Structures are given as structure tokens and as C-alpha cells.
Amino acid sequence: MTTKPLPKFLKDPPRFLFFTGKGGVGKTSIACAAAVALARVGRRVLLVSTDPASNIGQVFGLSIGNNRTAIPHIDGLFALEIDPEQAVESYRERILGPLRDVLEANEISSMTEQLSGSCTTEIASFNEFTTLLADDTATATFDHVLFDTAPTGHTIRLLQLPGSWSEFLTAGGDASCLGPLSGLDKHKDLYSAAVRALADPNRTRLVLVARPARSALSEIDRTRAELASIGMTTQYVVVNGVLPVSTGTVDTLAAAVHRRERAALDHLPSALRSLPLDLIELKATNLIGVEALTTLFETAPPSGGMASAVPTVPAIADAPLAALIDDIVRDGHCLIMCMGKGGVGKTTVAAAVAVALAERGHDVHLTTTDPAANLTETLDGTVDHLQVSRIDPARASRAYRDRVMTVKGATLDEAGRAALAEDLRSPCTDEIAVFQAFSHVIAQSRHKYVVVDTAPTGHTLLLLDATGSYHRDITRQMVPGVRFITPLMRLQDPTQTKVLLVTLAETTPVLEAAELQADLERAGIQTWAWVVDNSLAAANPTAPLLRRRAATELEHIRDVTTHSRRYAVIPMLPEEPVGIPALTALARPAKRTAGAR
């Protein structure tokens, strides 16, 4: 291999580097490789994950969690995962610990329940984040702190929260929705310091990571604008996973992928063209372990040096998406939730399922809870019987605030209405509003097919946590003997809800999907089927680089079959599956072979 100089985004790096972008673009790989590179030149580095579904531990092959962990064999490199559950437990104990000898057990129990919702989870994780960013004593021993963030939409919310909470508290907000968290104003100075750190170009650099695909590049263009509006103007662009020119053009799939990548890069949004740009080549294997990470910034040989020892890739069992759709139709109206790690193709699979059902004449509502998803771009057209919507946090929050002011505010005097309006400006209101919008969508599945493209794993679990909290509240309040159905009860009923776990045939997405399946089972929610998206093994490539990647998929596809007897495998396509015709083709019936189910 020919060693490439350090990428532009690592030249003269400031103290803080943030890696963000659409799910599945390789933020974690880029962040981990950057941390290794900086440590290798003598810097002390703390690598922090703010993603609830963090996988930096998997990349380095060790358990990390909420404690700073030294990375073996790399002097000066430490990692930390802001784990929501651990953060909440620690946060809750800081509040309740001093009160245990003062209050009655029932009061402690009530306060514990108030501190068990998704809003508390967000605040607990957020406080950990702002402490690392704004409290110099917390990171004094490190030269650099690298943040591997959650997928775009949730990262934007995280980075906007210091300003949101700072403004809310400065305005004298009471945040009564937080119950015993009203002491939040003690952190006002910390939040203000976080705002200053984010906007200081000498301290913070934003690295926008994308794949060489139209949707991913459009996503970071939107992110660039939103984060520039809060002062994060020192921005770099990294396009990861670019097919090397040396791959050749004999393989029709490789040639088609190369053409579409070049077209996407040639039409890079103008605002991104003005930013420093790094292109990182696609590698033949998954980037797991320090040795693999050190190769990420290297380039491939200029000619066919990879032609030797190309593995034979046996054919895999035919498992079309159309067969799953046939089974869904047989069972009748239901809620279909496409879940999984960011970037695995949830939006594409959800859209393909919805289009297939609508084209069969069924009424379908396709919606998304992912702030970064764009169903309109994926569909690029309309279909009879198909309704498309988006659970937009801003719109849902406005509707929720207006509804509360109209109903609850009607009985209040002017001072009371002003206090209520101030309380509703709390950032926690967004979580409540999104949950209510989600509940409304679930209810529609009684008389039509509802297909939900969910947010990436960690944030979907927070939404389900809110659903569980609501269920417990309703259960406590209902008069014994009165029948009722909560959103959680619908999710737990396999005749009413079908969960499709979408994954790629790679180590981390499969592991994360398996963990998600276990989390869902603990909540009483069963996984109905798995979908392996964008499979090279199913596409039968001939180019050596793609053949090597295809060979690594086989064991992961076998793993999928151990987790679910019902699954589908979607091959990588020469063109992106965008538009109604392409989505229809994705779910077109295909001949099945023995062993596919």
C-alpha cells in the first residue's frame, strides 16, 4: 500500500473535533482512525461517542461504556461512550441519593418514576456531553477530544441543546415537566460555556462525513447550514467509501457504481465545494481493530495489484423482499416498523414495502420518525392509495404547544397563561410531542397498513421508552375492570405490529440488530423478520475488491438466519433505488430456492 498523507481535516486540529453525517456513512470508522492517527504522533486523545447505539467498543474489540477506557497498544488514546442508561442511573442517583434518608419510600418511588422517561435520558446524556465540552477540568489531560456523534438529525438537536437550554433558563423557565429536575438552572453557566466552545473556530472543528451518494451529500449540506447557524462555521467535508479507480470497469456493477459516485461528486452542492474536502477510498474488509484502522487513510495500488487470491463467493439462497410482503398481506392491516442502525437502508426498505402494498390496491400510510430521513426524495413520485408524512419534531411541538394552550390555557388567567407558555418552551416538549404524534400514527393501523421508517436504533429505543412510560401511567390511573389499549400494547401484539430489522451484511450492523432484537424482546415486542440490504454477495460481482467484500458477507448472512427464520436479502443494485419504478423492482416477486426461508 502507498501511504497517504494525513487528510486535510487532521491538519493542525483544534481541541474539539465533531464527526457528523447521515447514518451508515462511516463516521465511527473515520473518528476512530483519526483518533489512532493523532495518538500515533504523540497526542493524548479522548474519543467520545454521543450515539445511544455506539459501536466504538466493537471497532476496538473491547468493552468501553461510560468510563474512560485506555485503548490497548495505542499510547495516549482513551475512549468513552456516553451510555444513556448509565448516564440516567448516575444522574438519578445524584438527585435521589441525598433525599433517601429524608423522604418517605412512596415519595422516592414517585420521583424515581418521574426520572424514568426519555426526557430525563436526553438531559442526563446531554449533561455528560456539555461537561466534556465546557468543563476544562474534565478533559484537562487531553490534547484533543473527538466526538463520534449520532446520525445527523439527533446530532443537530444535541448541538443545539446548549443554546436552547441556556436561552430557556436565562428567560427564567421553570421546566415543570422535569419535576425534580428543576435544579437544572445550576448548569446555566456550563451551557453558556458549551455554546461559546461550539462557536469558537480555534477550539472546535466540524467534520461532515458522507458517502459518494446524492442523498448523503445533500444531508451534510443541510447539516452544514443548520450548524453554521449556531456558530459552527469551521467545517470540513470527508467523502468516505469511494470506489477506487483501480477497481476497473470490466465488472458491470463496479462500473455502474463508479459512474454514479462520480456523478454525485461532480454535482456536489456549491456550499460544500468551498470547504476543504477529503476523499477516502473503499476498503476490501470491515474496519475492525487497530491494524485495520491504520489503513483507512491509505490509497490502493495504481493497477491490478489486488488480482491475486480473489475468493470464490458461493451463491446464496434466494430470499426476495416480495415473499415477506406476501406474508404481510395474508395477515391483513397492521403496523410495519422498519428498524435498525443508521444507514442500513431503513428508508429504502420502508418505501419499497409501502409502494408494493399500495400498488396491490391497499390503503397505506408511510411515515418516518427519523429527523434526517427524506421519504419524498426516495419516492420521487406518487402512487394511488399511498399517503406519505413525516413526524417532524418542530411541527409536532408547535401543534402540541398550541393544543395545550388552547385546552389547558383556557382556564388560566393572563399570568397563568404566560407561565404555561414559558413552560412549554422547554426543549423536553419536543419529546412529548413526537411521542403523541407517533401514538396517533400507531392508532391508524387498525384500518390500513402503516409503514414507519424509524430513527436509528438508540433514538427509536428512547421513543419506545416514552411509550412504555405512558403505558405505566395509564395502567396506574385506570379504574380496575375498565378495558383500554395503549400504544405499547399494540406494539406488543404480533397480529397488529410487524417489526422488520434492517441490516447490512457487516459485523457492526448485524450485532446491533441482534442487540436491538433482544431489547425489543425485553419490552415484550417481537421481531417479525430481518432484511439484509445492499448485499454484494447477492449481486455476484466480479471485480476483485468487490469480491473480497462479498466474501466477508457470507458469515453475517448466516448469522441473520440464526436470529430469524423469516428474512430477505436485497442485492446491491447498479443504480440507487430512488423513484417508484426502482422501488417497485426492489419488491418484485422472484423465483425462490430451497432453504430461503
Rounded-to-integer distance, Cα 90 and Cα 124, Å:
8
Enclosing domain of residue 462: 321-390+447-586
Rounded-to-integer distance, Cα 461 and Cα 152, Å:
17
Least confident of 257-261, 273-277, 305-309: 305-309
Residue 202 shares a structural domain with residue 337: no
Residue 366 shares a structural domain with residue 460: yes
Average pLDDT, the chain: 78
Q: Which three-class secondary structure state does DSSP give residue 34? A: helix
The pLDDT, as a whole number, for residue 487 is: 59
Domain assignment present for 440? no
Catalytic residue numbers, as ranges: 24, 26-29, 51, 508
Boundary-marking domain end, from 250, 274, 293: 293
The CATH number of the domain holding residue 51 is 3.40.50.300
Domain assignment present for 70? yes
Rounded-to-integer distance, Cα 476 and Cα 454, Å:
29
Residue among 70, 37, 589 at smallest CA distance from 352: 589
Residue 285 shares a structural domain with residue 368: no
Q: How many CB atoms lie within 10 A of CB 10?
A: 20
Angle between helices 252-266 and 544-563 (to 10 degrees): 100
The pLDDT, as a whole number, for residue 594 is: 36
pLDDT digit string, tens, across residues 393-439? 677 777 777 887 888 888 888 888 887 776 666 655 666 666 677 77
Residue 336 shares a structural domain with residue 261: no
pLDDT digit string, tens, across residues 332-352? 999 998 988 777 888 899 999
pLDDT digit string, tens, across residues 74-103? 999 999 887 767 777 777 777 777 777 777
The pLDDT, as a whole number, for residue 470 is: 44
Q: What is the side-by-side order of every strand in the sheet holding 335-339?
A: 386-388, 364-368, 449-453, 335-339, 497-503, 527-535, 567-571
Strands 497-503 and 527-535: parallel
Give the single-character DSSP code of 185: G
Domain assignment present for 441? no
Per the structure, the count of domains in the chain is: 2
Let me know: does 83 contact 63? Beta carbons within 8 Å.
Answer: no
The pLDDT, as a whole number, for residue 122 is: 59
Residue 252 shares a structural domain with residue 353: no
Domain assignment present for 303? no
Query: How much of the chain exceeds pLDDT 70, in percent?
Result: 75
Rounded-to-integer distance, Cα 133 and Cα 192, Å:
11
Q: Which three-class secondary structure state does DSSP give residue 528? A: strand
Task: Say yes or no to pLDDT of 138 above 90.
Answer: no
Residue among 352, 391, 242, 367 at smallest CA distance from 578: 352
Residue 251 shares a structural domain with residue 362: no
Residue 165 shares a structural domain with residue 278: yes
Residue among 502, 510, 508 at smallest CA distance from 528: 502
Task: Say yes or no to pLDDT of 157 above 80.
Answer: no
Domain assignment present for 407? no
Q: How confident is the model at residue 43 (pLDDT cuts 50, 70, 90)?
A: very high
Contacts 24+ apart (CB under 8 A), 304-311: 304/246, 304/248, 304/544, 305/246, 306/246, 306/544, 306/545, 306/548, 307/544, 310/544, 310/547, 310/548, 311/547, 311/548, 311/551
Q: How confident is the model at residue 143 (pLDDT cuts 50, 70, 90)?
A: very high
Let me know: does 21 contact 55? Beta carbons within 8 Å.
Answer: no
pLDDT digit string, tens, across residues 461-501? 455 555 555 445 444 444 455 444 455 667 788 888 999 99
The pLDDT, as a whole number, for residue 142 is: 93
Residue among 458, 207, 455, 218 at smallest CA distance from 343: 455
Residue 237 shares a structural domain with residue 384: no
Mean pLDDT of 279-306: 74
Domain assignment present for 469? yes
The pTM is what? 0.70
Rounded-to-integer distance, Cα 293 and Cα 298, Å:
10
DSSP string, 336-395: EEEE-STTSSHHHHHHHHHHHHHHTT--EEEEE--TT--HHHHH-S--TTEEE----HHH
Domain assignment present for 414? no
Mean pLDDT of 58-84: 85
The pLDDT, as a whole number, for residue 498 is: 93
